[in-house]
Amino acid sequence: MTQHRKGLVLDFGGVLTTPLLPAALAFEKREGLAEGTLLTLYLDPEGIRLTEELERGTLTQTQWNEAAARLLGVPPGNLMGRIFADLRPETSVIAAAAAARRAGVEVGILSNSVGLTPWNLYDGYEVEERYDALVLSEVHGTRKPEPEIFRLVLGELGLTAEDCVFVDDTEQHLLPAAELGFATVHAVEPARTVAALETLLGIPLTDDKDPDRVTT
């Protein structure tokens, strides 16, 4: 008999928002940069260092903006906000998370954060009201894929990893979660993500009358 999970942990950017890559490509086009410039930044050793420090909270978003702008050759003002200006809520996954909470599932957010000022990724999503736990990497000084941050969100939810499903659009974050005991879902396409969650949680998460509903 399948043991359904009773907790749900969601990454934020790229799971509860639209995908990050199209937003990044749109930024490059607006700024007159060659396609792939941002990816090169994030894969560059200096870019990796800057982003990890930002996620740990040892570098402010403004400091990251200034350093990354020098590497990209663009103005620094609100750079993070400009990069992700095209992100929008991923409404089907947000609705599924709300349906899971109504059904009694504990739902938390686990996010490698990017600073909260001058641009706040979480503005407008009511993350403190709509979810049972909110763990942001910069607050705790640890980041995915480090196991400690997964333990932190489990502590906030009062659950074990074996109780929970973890969803992330970054595949390398899934392995450490699975090693701790989470069931994992790689968020690639929202309908598939929701369908996988319905199976793992054992509850419907979409309206039966919805013609776009995906089932497994």
For 94-105, the pLDDT digits (tens) are 999 999 999 999
The reported pLDDT for the residue numbered 2 is 64
pLDDT exceeds 80 at position 212: no
The CB-side HSE value for 128 (13 A sphere, CA atoms) comes to 1
Mean pLDDT of 113-137: 97
Degrees, nearest 5: CA angle 77-19-210: 135
Per-residue confidence (pLDDT) for residue 198, from 0 to 100 = 98
Rounded Cα distance, 164 and 76, in Å: 40
pLDDT of residue 1: 47
Residue 28 region, left (φ>0) first, then alpha (ψ -120 to 50), else beta? alpha
Which tens digits make up the pLDDT trace of 189-203?
A: 999 999 999 999 999
